Amino acid sequence: MNSASTHAYDHARTTPRALATEAVHAGRDDLARQGLHAPPIDLSTTYPSYDSRGEAARIDAFAGDGAQPEGPPIYGRLGNPTVARFETALARLEGTESAVAFASGMAALSAVLLVRASMGLRHVVAVRPLYGCSDHLLTAGLLGTEVTWVDPAGVADALRPDTGLVLVESPANPTLAELDLRALAHACGSVPLLADNTFATPVLQRPVEQGARLVLHSATKYLGGHGDVMAGVVACDEEFAGRLRQVRFATGGVLHPLAGYLLLRGLSTLPVRVRAASATAAELVRRLAADPRVTRVHYPRIGGAMIAFEVHGDPHEVIAAVRLITPAVSLGSVDTLIQHPASISHRIVEESDRRDAGVSDRLLRMSVGLEDTEDLWADLDHALGERAAGLPREWTKDEGPALSTGRA
Ligand SMILES: *Cc1c(COP(=O)(O)O)cnc(C)c1O
């Protein structure tokens, strides 16, 4: 299957295609010519070759610029043809030259930090909230980095000669706060802006078009889409991708080929899934915002399938009462998930930092799936419990729950 392998690395394609078309066809363009329909899963860890001089030259080339070695693969940590199909497809969807896949979203973020730290650029500027573990990785300085937390308006002033990265999420996990990526990219100057696009997906937002240099995904979420694969990916220019591949090779956070296959399959339905779930989410937001048991609803202007809301009552009781909705951390699956960020996804963030970032103890985060809207509402309505005694039956405009689009 060496010809299949080399074709999987072939990025050349000229005719522009719509996102929905790319989602189905990118990374598969060579298949029909080979008489294949489903992409092959190449589980090889190593690749026999009688030409060790040639392999030496290709390894030297990789050590130079990290370009995906031409010709047959060499070893699993240097690249895998099935994973490369997913990388090609995701790069097309995000509108970047390249993408580099990792074993998880955190492995992907770690690789970005290591690329910059290895250049002596250990300082990171970041805007809260971030996903809890991203916050923790930076706050704890586990990779030898130092973080300065700022408001979006404070990015430019926080930059130092050793600043290697500006890290943001928009919409952010878990509050769905939105940032002006274009303004941020401008404030970053020559420092790369990394936008974690896990929540929006390229269906709703392509951060490179707004000036971000790096786009990160926890592919565990919407890209996989079915709650059965862990992965991360960074979409970026080929120069940065080369550095990421070198770090991936040296540190080993590779994506398993079977995961690469599942992700490629997940991408083909990404636009359909995101649009359908977003429509349901928008309707649930409308109902939650009108509900006196709910004090605040967060929903981004760009839409999407993530909702955050604060309740009058005990959020733990809501989690305990859902029956159709799955009470679980994570997001982006075909089924609707609900979780309490202060207890789970953002537990590892220190309480005061968490609260300062707008993650209140009453906040619930819901990832809307593909179930019927009425069934979901029936479950939510039940889980929210009795309409609490003492609450006014009719809310005036000022007393009623606030719908926050949360642009920071
Ligand atoms: C889940 C998540 C991550 C981490 O990804 P893993 O695949 O769990 O390692 C990073 N960023 C965001 C926004 C996430 O939701």
Q: Is 104 in the pocket of ligand 1 (CB under 6 A)?
A: yes
39-268 and 271-404, same CATH topology? no
CATH number of 39-268: 3.40.640.10
Q: How far is Cα 402 from Cα 313, in angstroms, rounded to an integer? A: 16
Q: Which two tokens stand for residue 338?
A: 């609900």
Q: Which residues contact residue 229 at a Cβ distance below 8 angstroms, ignoring those fewer than 6 apart?
A: 219, 220, 259, 262, 263, 266
Contact call for residues 103 and 254 (beta carbons, < 8 A): yes
Tell me, rounded to whole angstroms, the distance of Cα 14 from its chain centroid.
Answer: 27
Nearest residue CA, atom 9 of ligand 1?
105
Tell me, in angstroms, the distance from the centre of ligand 1 to residue 33's CA: 37
173 lines ligand 1 (CB under 6 A): yes
3-state class (DSSP) for residue 317: helix
pTM listed for this prediction: 0.93
Count of C-beta atoms within a 10 Å radius of residue 297:
23
Model confidence pLDDT, tens digit, residues 128-141: 999 999 999 999 99
Count other C-beta atoms under 10 Å from residue 182's C-beta: 13
Give, using CA atoms, the residue closest to atom 7 of ligand 1.
Answer: 105
CATH superfamily entry for domain 271-404: Aspartate Aminotransferase, domain 1 (3.90.1150.10)
Is residue 11 predicted with pLDDT exceeding 80? no
Residue 388 neighbours by CB distance under 10 Å = 12
**344, exposed or middle or buried, with CB in 10 Å at 0-12, 13-18, 19+?**
middle
Task: Output the pLDDT for position 388.
Answer: 53
112 pLDDT above the threshold of 80: yes
CA of 384 to the centre of ligand 1 (A): 27
At 309, phi and psi to the nearest 5? -150, 155
The structural domains of the chain, with segments of one domain joined by +, span 39-268, 271-404
Per-residue model confidence as pLDDT tens digits over 321-351:
999 999 999 999 999 999 999 999 999 999 9
